[in-house]
Amino acid sequence: MMNRLGQTDIQVSPVSLGVMTFGSQTAEEDAFRQLDMAFEAGINLFDTAENYPAPVSPETQGRSEEILGRWIAARGVRDRVIVATKVTGPGNIAGDLTHIRGAGRRLDRTNIFAAVEASLRRLATDYIDLYQTHWSERLNTTIGRTRFSHIPDAPTLVPIEETLAALGALVEAGKVRHLGVANESPWGVMRYLAAAEAHGLPRIVTIQNSYSLLDRQFELGLAETAMREQVGLLAYSPLAAGLLTGKYVAAPAPIPGSRSSIFPAFVSRFSSKKLAATAAYVDLARRHELDPAAMALAFVRQKPFTTSVLMAASSATQLASNLKGLNLTLSKELLKEIDAIHDSLPNPS
């Protein structure tokens, strides 16, 4: 069963593959294996970004798009896959990204046009199926904050209407088919939709935000927006950066070859509440004789506001494990038990 991409005529797989590790943590040979495995499993949506791979650096920037483009060309599947990528805004991204169009990087016409041309070249394609703003132009409170904090707009802030007009020009030119946003708030999504209606511009069709058993904040405002306005969720980090596999519960320490060994501060993010909630979900899965990762992925996939669950794996072996539970359906009774854990330990991420 496929899902409709917003109000478009495009059908996408309910599980998709994010390729942000390709070209850094994941070598090209392994990346090709992952892409082959995903495609053979029925996955047709592949998501990348101009600033990938992670961790971001000037030396590797753009490699993820290049590897995806080479695989598509080598397999001759451009007409059978949905390619999604993103333009980097100035927003909340940590680290120095001045190697991407300098310190003046903005979501304006000049930057967006330069970004899309570079992505088209790296992807070796004439068009992008889904082009997304990676972060908002303004600073917002969608990532890593448990409460709203007012952050004054920068004097150079590019209005959403201007960003959407630039993106709309790319749609009109045939370089982009449809538009989406990532790491956005309910206000941001509604502002994009209002701008589209007021100015005859293309509607956004997706929102790519974090969503998992450990981070259900999407439900607090964006879920209703997504369903009523048909702006479906592309859920990233459904395994909470690997935590929901259960591999860190017994010994929360860096694991060789994993993201925890690459990002020094990774394991320090494992708060006592996060580990307690994870342990509860892992124990629940095992009591029901389920793989914890499969249960976590199925939970996200079954939500009515989810268009596709973005899996990401550092190796083909890891992806093979995740693909085993692709068609798992959680019972109503199990979902009630999941909600009970959530109610006692809500959103520890």
Residues taking part in catalysis:
52
List the one residue out of 286, 235, 243, 283 whose CA is nearest residue 267.
243
Structure tokens at 283: 């124990």
Instruction: Give whole-number Cα distances, 10 to 26, 188, 328, in Å.
Output: 29, 24, 24
Burial-class residue 347 by CB neighbours within 10 Å (0-12, 13-18, 19+): middle
What is the C-alpha separation between 163 and 157, in angstroms, rounded?
A: 11
Q: Give the residue among 125, 118, 129 at the shortest CA–CA distance from 88.
A: 118
Backbone angles phi, psi at 180, to 5 degrees: -150, 170
Angle between helices 28-40 and 316-323 (to 10 degrees): 20
The Cα 8–Cα 241 span in angstroms is: 30
Partners of 53 in the beta sheet?
none
Helix ranges (DSSP H) in 124-217: 160-172, 186-199
Helix axes 316-323, 292-301, angle to 10 degrees: 70
Q: What is the rounded (10 degree) CA torsion for 21, 25, 28, 29?
A: -120
- Dist CA 76 CA 308 (whole Å): 24
Question: Of 312, 311, 315, 316, whose CA–CA distance to 257 is shortest?
Answer: 315
